[in-house]
Amino acid sequence: MSDFTHPIVGWLIAIVTILSILGCFWLIFANNIKKVEGEIESTGHVWDEDLEEFDNPLPRWWYYMFIFTLVFGLIYLALYPGLGAYKGLFGWTQIGQYEAESAEYDAKYSDLYAGYAATAIPELAKNTKAMKSGERIYASYCTVCHGSDARGSIGFPNLTDDDWLWGGTPEQIKASIMNGRTANMPARGGLPLTDDEVENVTDYVMSLAGRDVDQTASDLGKQVFGKICLACHLPTGTGNQALGAANLTDSSWLYGSSRSAILETIKNGRTGVMPAHGEFLGEDKVHLLSAYVYSLSH
């Protein structure tokens, strides 16, 4: 609440909030002055022929409940942030609470994670209890991209198969999670390739995976591939894990296997980012998470 672009914004929020609460007090007290004596008259509103609305006063318990709510609101805003840049008497912040809870959690379970970290990933992947903990970490940080079943989606790798852009060894998996990855397939449409050349390369790339293509176009595409694409995908099309360059000879396609999807990739390029998790998870938790990811495909 304190990160405003200008101090006046914080003051504006505080003033509007306080005036709103005071206005509610005035509204309640102003409408409680009238004393009802004798028979209560109808307002004249009638529904379903005989259902009338009467001008009954607000029940006392309801009236006091409104007052209590407003008083509670004032006390809360005095103790906690809510009035613009005002931090509250307790000085509470969500970041501070998160750090305190994280520190408490780390103190409680640090020895357990340290024990897991001392175990090699292939052995740790066989530890049922450890994998349950790893699964919970995965559910918290990885499902939004890779899915709850770890099978990924368009643009997000399937972690349950044996196809790895950056390598599937324990060390490579841990490096991916710890430090993140940035993959870039540069756009080839326009320059350096014409539309016809993009079409031909698409045919050749599909042929590498054993797909039925126009052989003439594929032969032309092979020549272009040898000039433009082999630096990353190698002459055989099997890719280069050091660069995150995909293997084009299998049936795994990160952005779709249709001709239009492959052509789109070649023409306009692709950029993929795997964020680094080492800084906020810590190496011990990353080690456990790596073992869980390793277990998914082993």
Residue 2 lies in a domain: no
Same domain, 257 and 195: yes
Question: Among residues 298, 285, 293, 292, which one has the least CA distance to residue 128?
Answer: 292
DSSP line for 131-148: HHHHHHHHHHHTHHHH-T
Residue 90 lies in a domain: no
Same domain, 74 and 57: yes
Question: Residue 288 in contact with residue 188, Cβ under 8 Å?
Answer: no
Q: What is the CATH number of the domain that holds 212?
A: 1.10.760.10
Residue 229 lies in a domain: yes
**pLDDT at residue 105, rounded to an integer:** 86
Query: pTM for this structure?
Result: 0.73
Same domain, 61 and 173: no
**pLDDT at residue 45, rounded to an integer:** 85
Domain count, the chain: 3
Q: Give the contacts of 198 (CB within 8 A, at least 6 positions apart).
A: 188, 189, 263, 266, 267
What torsion, rounded to 10 degrees, do the Cα atoms 92, 94, 95, 98 define?
110
Same domain, 161 and 290: yes
Crossing angle, helix 128-141 and helix 94-117, to 10 degrees?
150
Question: Among residues 231, 169, 180, 224, which one has the least CA distance to residue 202?
Answer: 224
Strand positions, DSSP E, the chain: 42-47, 51-54, 181-185, 270-274
Same domain, 267 and 195: yes
Same domain, 188 and 156: no
**pLDDT at residue 59, rounded to an integer:** 83
Same domain, 283 and 143: yes
pLDDT tens sequence for the chain (298 residues): 456 678 898 899 999 999 999 999 999 888 776 665 666 777 788 888 888 888 777 788 999 999 999 999 999 999 999 998 899 999 999 999 999 998 998 889 999 999 999 999 999 999 999 999 999 999 999 999 999 999 999 999 999 999 999 999 999 999 999 999 999 999 999 889 999 999 999 999 999 999 999 999 999 999 999 999 999 999 999 999 999 999 999 999 999 999 999 999 999 999 999 999 999 899 999 999 999 999 999 9
- The torsion angles phi and psi of 46, rounded to 5 degrees, stand at -130, 135
**pLDDT at residue 120, rounded to an integer:** 98
Measured CA to CA, the distance from residue 284 to residue 57 in angstroms comes to 64
Residue 236 lies in a domain: yes
Same domain, 54 and 202: no
Residue 54 lies in a domain: yes
Question: Among residues 272, 35, 56, which one has the least CA distance to residue 145?
Answer: 272
Q: Give the contacts of 184 (CB within 8 A, at least 6 positions apart).
A: 269, 270, 271, 272
Distances from the Cα of 56 to the Cα of 32, 49, 52, 60, 283, angstroms: 11, 20, 12, 12, 66
Residue 93 lies in a domain: no
Parent domain of 64: 7-33+41-79
Measured CA to CA, the distance from residue 82 to residue 20 in angstroms comes to 13
Same domain, 279 and 171: yes
Question: Residue 161 in contact with residue 297, Cβ under 8 Å?
Answer: yes
Same domain, 232 and 255: yes
DSSP line for 68-81: HHHHHHHHHHHHSS
Same domain, 150 and 286: yes
Same domain, 292 and 268: no
Residue 84 lies in a domain: no
Residue 239 lies in a domain: yes
